[in-house]
Structure 1
Amino acid sequence: MTPHAETPVDPLWWSWEGAHGGWVAGAALTAVRDAFTGGHRPVRSLTTHFLAPVGTGPLRFSGTAPAAGRSTVTCLFTGHQDGEPALVGSALFGPRRTGPGYDGLPAPDVPGPDDCPPLHLPVEQVPFARQLEIRPATADRPLAGGPRAELLAWIRFRDGRGLGAAAVTTLADALPPALYARWRTPRPVPTAELTVHFTDALDDEAPEGWALVRIRTDHAGGGWAVDDSAVWSADRRLLATGRQARVVREPRDRRPPGGPGAGQTAAGTVNS
């Protein structure tokens, strides 16, 4: 049996030339969980490979249904738009279990959001930035030519949505690419693949309000970069970690937003 699901693309989450990659991955997770698992299993990981830009039309998902009776299941899915595959991926679902705990990635010791100044991303380039309030928690800023490829900021959704798994997936890709902290000139750094691992902090009621988000690049070369991200709740619980493979392109003229184009934003996705 191959279940099907459909979800509209929210125009509020438009990026340079297409839908924001983190939002697309979160929308895929919601569609897959509701259609293929009944929506009752906590998600443990989500991997999304972006094959083509996501435009304004609805995304239609097909995927494998989990075998009945299994507590841990993996769903493979494909997202189509206008009859063509735009993304493929997998989601792992499994119930909460008893076992030892360990916190090897504590939240950085930084001031709270009320003590951090706001950051306004250029909405003419990344319209989705209107949906977020961003407050950098360190001195690092995009396009400031700093010494390290890392950005750390408090972020919250302006519509007040809770920090469920789909929202956390969006936040894992909400900041500019970490290399922007070292550069002074923007260039496209599209995401080819994004994987997010979720913690048990999301098993029950979704946290609300601010999240602390960090993104950093430990290596870039050969036209590729690997970004690692982490998302913590306002009370400093780790919610998820992410890793994405990015294509580092040469600077080019930007198209004005407002409709589907040949690629997507440096903070979103494009086909490589």
Structure 2
Amino acid sequence: MNYTDLLASIADAGPNARTMLVPETWMQGRTAYGGLTAALCLEAARPLAPGLPVRAVQVAFVGPVNGAVTCKAEVLRQGKNTVFVSVRMTGDDGVLADCIMTFGASRQSSLNFADLPAPDVPNPEDVKPYFRNHQGPAFAQNFDLLIAGGALPLSGAEKADVSIWMRHKDTATPMDAVSLLALADAPPPAAMTMFKEPGRISSMTWMAEFLTEDIETEDRWFLARHVAQTARNGYSSQEMLLWNKARQPIMVGRQTIALFI
């Protein structure tokens, strides 16, 4: 099931609630891919903040997401320019994810800068696929992923710093905040480049900040850089940055990942 068919399968489940059946093609082991979980929650939140762009998303991945799931949204606070929306995803096993979505109108400001230079890497036309011969988890087959800098997973690298060009394979995918959130978490955690043997990982939390309302790029390509800044006591904390093809910053984020190795 491609991305647009996936969105079309979402059904109403009562006031401010959406439900859907997670397809196997969007799974990562026994759970839905984290980017999809976040995107479904954002899709449920948007009707409660009509006309306002999303500014920040905070997600706690509480339990494995599979089967039939329901996202229930609730306005926490609505101000003159901002709306805070809580979204809880539930399934047969109870709470699966808890999110807070922050929406905010544009306002005039004396400050206008973005000090987030993109890494010096080749264009997507000049780099190789990240996964070869359909390797990788099921959900990864929904994306084009290219290795632009750094090392591949399980390569025993000295640094956990990887740059990846990525886009939705579904060419009908809309260029909006929900589809970007569904894409942004596609690369494996940066710490996996330092692994010398296979080991399980699990995303625990994800914070993403949208730096622009104008989500656009050339040929649908976005450039991601993921850097694991700490790994100790079985957990890794990584920085995540995203640019469009013109190297304009689009999103920044942080993620906490459990390492079972």
Whether TM-score is above 0.5 comes out as yes
Structure 2: state its 5+ residue gaps. Answer: 1-13
Paired residues of 2:40 and 2:71 also in contact (CA < 8 A): no
After superposition, residues 193-208 of structure 1 pair within 5 angstroms as 193-200=205-212, 203-204=213-214, 206-207=216-217
Whole-Å separation in 2 of the counterparts to 1:118 and 1:83: 37
**Secondary structure of 1:191's aligned partner:** strand
Query: Does the CA contact (< 8 Å) of 1:9 and 1:19 recur in 2?
Result: no
Aligned letter for 1:86?
Answer: L
Shift of 1:234: 0.9
Shift of 1:128: 0.8
1:217 aligns with 2:228: yes
Which structure ranks higher in relative contact order (CA pairs < 8 Å, sequence separation ≥ 6)? 1
Residue among 60, 70, 81 paired with 1:71: 81
The answer to whether the 8 A contact 2:190-2:238 is kept is: yes
**Structure 1 partner of 2:202:** 190
Counterpart in the other structure of 1:178: 190
Find the aligned partners of 1:26 and 1:44 in 2 and give their Cα distance: 14
Question: Match for residue 141 of structure 2?
Answer: 130
1:115 aligns with 2:126: yes
Q: Percent same amino acid at aligned positions?
A: 27
Is this contact kept in 2: 1:212–1:231, CA < 8 A?
yes
Between stretches 4-13 and 136-145, larger displacement belongs to 4-13
- In structure 1, the gaps of 5 or more residues are 251-272
The aligned counterpart of 1:47 is 58
Please say if residues 62 and 77 of structure 1, whose CA atoms lie closer than 8 Å, have aligned partners that are also in contact. yes
Q: Given residue 187 of structure 2, which amino acid in structure 1 is its aligned partner?
A: L
**Residue from 84, 91, 96 that aligns with 1:86:** 96
CA distance in 2, matches of 1:93, 1:218: 29
**Is 1:18 paired with 2:28?**
no
Say which SS state the counterpart of residue 170 (structure 1) adopts.
Answer: helix
Return the alpha-carbon distance in structure 1 between the equivalents of residues 190 and 223 of structure 2: 15
Supply the distance in 2 between the matched residues of 1:37 and 1:122 (Cα, whole angstroms): 42
**Amino acid aligned to 1:173:** D
Say which structure is richer in strand: 2
In structure 1, the residue matched to 2:108 is 98
Q: TM-score, normalised by structure 1?
A: 0.83
The 2-side partners of 1:125 and 1:204 are apart by: 31
TM-score (norm 2): 0.86
Q: Is the 8 A contact 1:171 1:231 kept in 2?
A: no
- Partner of 1:242, secondary structure, is strand
Q: How far is the alpha carbon of 1:77 from its aligned partner?
A: 2.2
Per the alignment, residue 180 of structure 2 pairs with 168
Q: Give the residue type in structure 1 aligned to 2:17.
A: A
